[in-house]
Amino acid sequence: MVTAVVGANWGDEGKGKITDMLAENSDIIIRFQGGANAGHTIINDYGKFALHTLPSGVFYDHTTSIIGNGVALDIPKLFNEVKGIVDKGVPMPKILVSDRAQMVMPYHVLFDEYEEERLKGASFGSTKSGIAPFYSDKYAKIGFQVSELFDDEQSLKDKIARVIVQKNALLEHLYHKPLLTVDGVYATLMEYKEMVEPFVCDVSAYLYNAIKEGKNILLEGQLGSMKDPDHGIYPMVTSSSTLAGYGAIGAGIPPYEIKKIVTVCKAYSSAVGAGEFTSEIFGEEADELRRRGGDGGEFGATTGRPRRMGWFDCVASKYGCRLQGTTDVAFTVLDVLGYLDEIPVCVGYDIDGEVTTDFPTTTRLKKAKPVYEVLPGWKCDIRGIKNYEDLPENCRNYIEFIEKQIGFPITMISNGPSRSDIIYRNK
Ligand code: GDP
């Protein structure tokens, strides 16, 4: 059976922890989109890890970890990450890389930097990992697929020569930076070939057989619904689809095989980068939530940047869950809210004097003011609780209030960063 683990919000919902947890009973875990621009933080028996490219199932010896064709594959980063976990005592994971995945080139990273430099204050807040230039090239059909590393030398050099004409025009005239050469790009690709060769696989064929054999397969999403290029807060979005539906394409499986969609939804809001964030809070109130948030504070796993903070947003989360096609909500980081006397929850958006619970397009979203309902806090530490009935009444009320507002069943509640901090709720 195929299960997708995806985010309802702006990312950083705790998908890594949920994937790591569900991976215990899975055979295969696949990354199907995004690149090394966002990170998952995982805490388990081996220690604390920030993963950027590897799927969050790499810590078990019974799993196969797959980089799907939809991923922006940064080969040196992937190999550093593997080395990083093996150096900390994790057994060498079984990794497969799709022969149809495309590679992030060093010049994609440079173009990302140069463009942010050019835009200055109007920048997108990119992590400068080359993701937007990478996907632009992929769809402009001037990217490099892993399979092309095995093409003959002359064909590959001819393609490089075609590609760098465009790149060099921009480097020379727009950015005033050093130019690319055919030999330089070819040498980089040959280095990548050496690193990736042992792992290259026809992933869709592998998965076709795995599904036939009844294997348990997890699709692991990066970021969340709000960052989807079509359905999110365009243009402050990422460059590949963050939705479970894209899992079929980014892994190469039939869409109807995705039977379960676990949408991870954080008990309060956080966001990185620029863009609309209606329930955002500021000042001391935000600082305290950031300090107490997640595991050791809400700071980016890739960049260390402080995350923007806000109260739970039912409008955005209802929409985020709907677009994912949610069958189960995993409600995470609930333990963090235990310090609050009262907890505001955004239940509607006031746009030009009219209140709506439907998430609008960005032009209208810009005008939205949050409408809050304030719920009583539970004022205690809920970590360690294993049964839903043992949660304080106000805590259960908070969960049930939000469940009603968003309209999707909350079947898992995460009350701590570890694998075992989970409460299952039968619905
Ligand atoms: P992801 O990108 O969706 O995997 O999310 P991140 O890893 O960026 O952010 C989630 C953070 O919250 C990480 O530091 C996790 O260790 C932590 N975390 C996950 N679930 C919980 C939870 O239930 N409680 C607490 N306190 N921290 C959690």
- For the segment 376-398, what is each residue's pLDDT rounded down to a tens digit? 999 999 999 999 999 999 999 99
Q: E strand or H helix at 283, and its extent?
A: helix 283-292
- Catalytic residue check, 52: no
13 ligand 1 Cβ < 6 A: yes
Res 426: pLDDT:
82
Distance 268 CA to ligand 1 centre (A): 12
**CA–CA separation, 137 and 394 (whole Å):** 51
Token pair, residue 247, equals 């899992």
Return the residue whose CA atom lies nearest to atom 18 of ligand 1: 417
Distance 386 CA to ligand 1 centre (A): 18
Quick one: which of 304, 232, 239, 319 has its CA closest to 272?
304
Instruction: For 323-373, write each residue's pLDDT tens digit.
Output: 999 999 999 999 999 999 999 999 999 999 999 999 999 999 999 999 999
Q: Is the pLDDT of residue 321 over 90?
A: yes
Res 123: pLDDT:
66
Quick one: which of 314, 341, 299, 286 has its CA closest to 402?
314
> 147-151, 272-276, 338-342: which range is least confident on average?
272-276
At residue 405, what are phi and psi to the nearest 5 degrees? -65, -40
**CA–CA separation, 191 and 371 (whole Å):** 54
DSSP 164-227: HHHHHHHIIIII--PPP-HHHHHHHHHHHHHHHGGGEE-HHHHHHHHHHTT--EEEEEEEEGGG
Which residue in 20, 40, 112, 231 is the catalytic one? 40
**CA–CA separation, 328 and 340 (whole Å):** 27
Q: Is the pLDDT of residue 301 over 70?
A: no
Instruction: For 103-138, write each residue's pLDDT tens digit.
Output: 999 999 999 999 988 988 766 666 788 999 999 999
Distance 330 CA to ligand 1 centre (A): 12
Name the CA radius of gyration of the chain, rounded: 22
- Catalytic residue check, 341: no
Name the pTM for this structure: 0.95
CA 233 to chain centre: 15
Counting from 1 in the atom list of ligand 1, the atom nearest the Cα of 13 is 3
332 ligand 1 Cβ < 6 A: yes
Res 39: pLDDT:
73
- Residue of higher predicted confidence among 272 and 344: 344
- Listed in sequence order, the residues at least 6 apart from 420 whose beta carbon sits closer than 8 Å to its beta carbon are none
Distance 180 CA to ligand 1 centre (A): 40
14 ligand 1 Cβ < 6 A: yes
Token pair, residue 311, equals 């109260």
412 ligand 1 Cβ < 6 A: no
Instruction: For 50-74, write each residue's pLDDT tens digit.
Output: 888 998 888 888 999 999 999 999 9
Q: Give residue 425's pLDDT band: very low, low, confident or very high (50, 70, 90).
A: very high
Counting from 1 in the atom list of ligand 1, the atom nearest the Cα of 222 is 2
DSSP 224-244: EGGG-TTTSSTTSS-SS--SH
Burial class (CB in 10 A: 0-12, 13-18, 19+), 302: middle
